[in-house]
Amino acid sequence: MPVDINKLKQIVYEAAGIIRQARISPEQIRTKTSQKDYVTKYDVEVQNFLESHLAEAWPDRHFLGEEQETHEFTHNGFIVDPIDGTANFVFGVPHYCISVAVLENGEITQGVVYNPAADEMYWAELGQGSYMNGKRLANPNLALEQTLVGVGSSLYDPNSIEPTVKLIAEIMKKSDIRRLGSAALDLSYVASGRQGAYFEFNIKPWDIAAGMLIAREAGVIVTTTEGKEPPLDRPLSILAAGPEIYAEFRRMLNF
Ligand code: IPD
């Protein structure tokens, strides 16, 4: 059965009720791969809610969620980050989201990214454009000097620190940076033009799958930081920018 985007948005909106009612306390927080990598009981509850409700609506589809013990990557199904921006959530910064992508034959066909703190629902369908709360999104294709660049700090990967800092220094000759803390929202912000570009050297597929489609459907170029198609079955790097800034990144990254 095809995925009805309105039904998908409704399920995501309902799942966000768990986040809206959350009262976070220290014993509900654990760290995973490092001291910087948080998971809370709410990440798990949102994931469980989504897994059961998506299975009820579309029983034949595989479910991949960030907080699962083991990750099975397939070419069809849902790719879910129950709370993207968990560190923000933990510290009370109102910038995090639920991210759900639909994958068909290895291609993302639908994506939903919802920030409950701002009540901003982003979504896209392949070939149909992308939207935020009903408004069609289009990246304004500005020059680097005219906009802001979102940065991700690849918090699990010490090897990414040096290239990240180097690239930030290059960018800051012409522009300013933001480290907002949610890759899915970073990509959605490039779609809307709140940021002119976003990059991160090491990230997981569930952080970027839905946002990647939302960005592309708004005219954003999304590749790895080497100019390749982003793989959705392993850690990857990501670069998203309007065509003008993308050309500048090609120069800065030598590809
Ligand atoms: C993280 C956020 C963050 C990015 C990290 C991601 P999580 O996702 O997207 O912005 O820098 O690489 O892991 O852990 O909050 O789902």
Q: How far is the CA of 32 from the centre of ligand 1 (A)?
A: 12
Q: How far is the CA of 1 from the centre of ligand 1 (A)?
A: 31
Question: What mean pLDDT value characterizes the chain?
Answer: 95
- 33 CB contacts (<8 Å, ≥6 apart)? 156
Cα-based distances in Å from 155 to 3, 44, 46, 202 = 33, 20, 22, 8
Determine which of 37-46, 134-143, 146-155, 222-231 has the lowest per-residue pLDDT on average.
37-46
- Reduce the DSSP state of residue 70 to 3 states and report it: coil
Contact between 187 and 215 (Cβ < 8 Å) = yes
- 128 CB contacts (<8 Å, ≥6 apart)? 217
Q: 206, 245, 248, 200: which is closest to 225 by C-alpha? A: 200
- State the closest ligand 1 atom to the C-alpha of 206, by its place in the atom list counted from 1: 16
Cα-based distances in Å from 170 to 165, 176, 240 = 9, 10, 17
Q: What is the pLDDT of residues 171-228, one digit of tens each?
A: 999 999 999 999 999 999 999 999 999 999 999 999 999 999 999 999 999 999 999 9
Per-residue pLDDT, 31: 81
Averaged over 164-172, what is the pLDDT?
Answer: 97
Per-residue pLDDT band for 25 (boundaries 50, 70, 90) equals confident
Q: What is the pLDDT of residues 87-132, one digit of tens each?
A: 999 999 999 999 999 999 999 999 999 999 999 999 999 999 999 9
CB-defined site of ligand 1, < 6 Å = 66, 81, 84-86, 152-155, 181-183, 200, 203, 207
Per-residue pLDDT, 108: 98
What domains are there in the chain, each with its CATH number?
5-136 (3.30.540.10), 144-253 (3.40.190.80)
pTM of this prediction exceeds 0.85: yes
Per-residue pLDDT band for 37 (boundaries 50, 70, 90) equals confident
Q: How far is the CA of 172 from the centre of ligand 1 (A)?
A: 23
- State the closest ligand 1 atom to the C-alpha of 184, by its place in the atom list counted from 1: 9
Nearest CA to ligand 1 atom 7: 84
- State the closest ligand 1 atom to the C-alpha of 88, by its place in the atom list counted from 1: 15
- Reduce the DSSP state of residue 94 to 3 states and report it: coil
Q: What angle do CA 24, 28, 31 make, to 5 degrees?
A: 115
Per-residue pLDDT, 245: 98
